[in-house]
Amino acid sequence: PTSPNRGWFVPPFGGNPWWVYVVSALPALLVTILLFMDQQITAVIVNRKEHMLKKGAGYHLDLFWVAVLMIVCSFMGLPWYVAATVISIAHIDSLKMETETSAPGEMPKFLGVREQRVTGVCVFILTGLSVFMSPILKFIPMPVLYGVFLYMGVASLNGVQFMDRLQLLLMPAKHQPDLVYLRHVPLRKVHLFTFIQILCLALLWVLKSTVAAIIFPVMILALVAVRKTMDYMFSQHELSFLDDVIPEKDKKKKEDAKQKKKMRSIDSDIEDSDFPYNENVPSIKIPMDMMEQEPFLGDKASDRDKSSSFLDRHSSC
């Protein structure tokens, strides 16, 4: 124990009055929502399809053990914990396997992730041993630790569509990269989606920095309602590209493959046609004023002569 005045276990019914246990049910519910969403969001990010994980995900099993350990930590006065988003993403990135490339400018191909438990076990063993290294670790300046976490946070933003859309706000149209969602969503709709996200982020940040931070989990749940409201502002086709369910690079690969398949189909139809297109053969140009008139009406010879002269004037080969 860190204090000589208590033992290993914290008595659940201490010197507090009885009504404290009844009133604490409300903040306990808020904490439950926060822990659930924090744990599950991290699990969903780690188990995304683009990571090409071969072993299945155990969402329910992970959440069960988090709940059990939460009870143990509560009785022992230890801090609560869930899966850390930034650290988990950094762990996945460190275990990625890529092809070895020697050509300059060639991007390595992602092969998968080394799925094992050795690195995770070693990290937690070293975390436990750090307790005995506190006389040495206390000499590390706090700005160094802040810098490590800042670097990890900034590194995890790489490839996030929200950051790319923020850059589009200050980028002229002619300098915009070939992003797949710009092919399907108007630019004004893209900026509107980004503005809504910025507004929600600012609201959460302001709320978290005030005394009303206890209702922070409720505001996270309110984001679900905000997302539902977007169904009336954007089409489902637009949201499928702006929601970033599939990473940008994977969407672009699928889009380019679809375009190539379509072009091959068009070329095949042209080759199979009895009248293939030839750019060297002159085309007949018929002006619109000819389409609006009817020169072939009438059976008189004078009408037929007028029709012939009309076609001679307006037809060219």
Do 62 and 20 share a structural domain?
yes
CA distance 259 to 237: 18
Do 252 and 293 share a structural domain?
no
For the chain, give percent helix, strand, coil, nearest 5: 65, 5, 35
Q: Is residue 138 part of a domain?
A: no
According to DSSP, residue 111 is labeled: E
Do 91 and 26 share a structural domain?
yes
Find the domain containing 314 and state its range: 283-317
pLDDT value for 269: 58
Do 243 and 268 share a structural domain?
yes
pLDDT value for 193: 92
Q: Using a pLDDT cut of 70, give the percent of the chain over it.
A: 76
By residue count, the chain amounts to 317
Do 169 and 66 share a structural domain?
no
pLDDT value for 292: 52
pLDDT value for 141: 92
pLDDT value for 272: 58
CA distance 8 to 77: 8
Q: Is residue 74 part of a domain?
A: yes
Q: Is residue 257 part of a domain?
A: yes
- Which residues are CB-neighbours of 178 under 8 A, at least 6 positions away? 252
Name the stretches of the chain with pLDDT < 70: 1-2, 101-102, 244-256, 262, 265-317
How many structural domains compose the chain?
3
Helices 216-229 and 187-208 sit at what angle, rounded to 10 degrees?
Answer: 170
pLDDT value for 183: 84
Do 238 and 262 share a structural domain?
yes
CA distance 156 to 89: 7
Angle at 265 between CA 259 and CA 269, to 5 degrees: 145
Do 267 and 177 share a structural domain?
yes
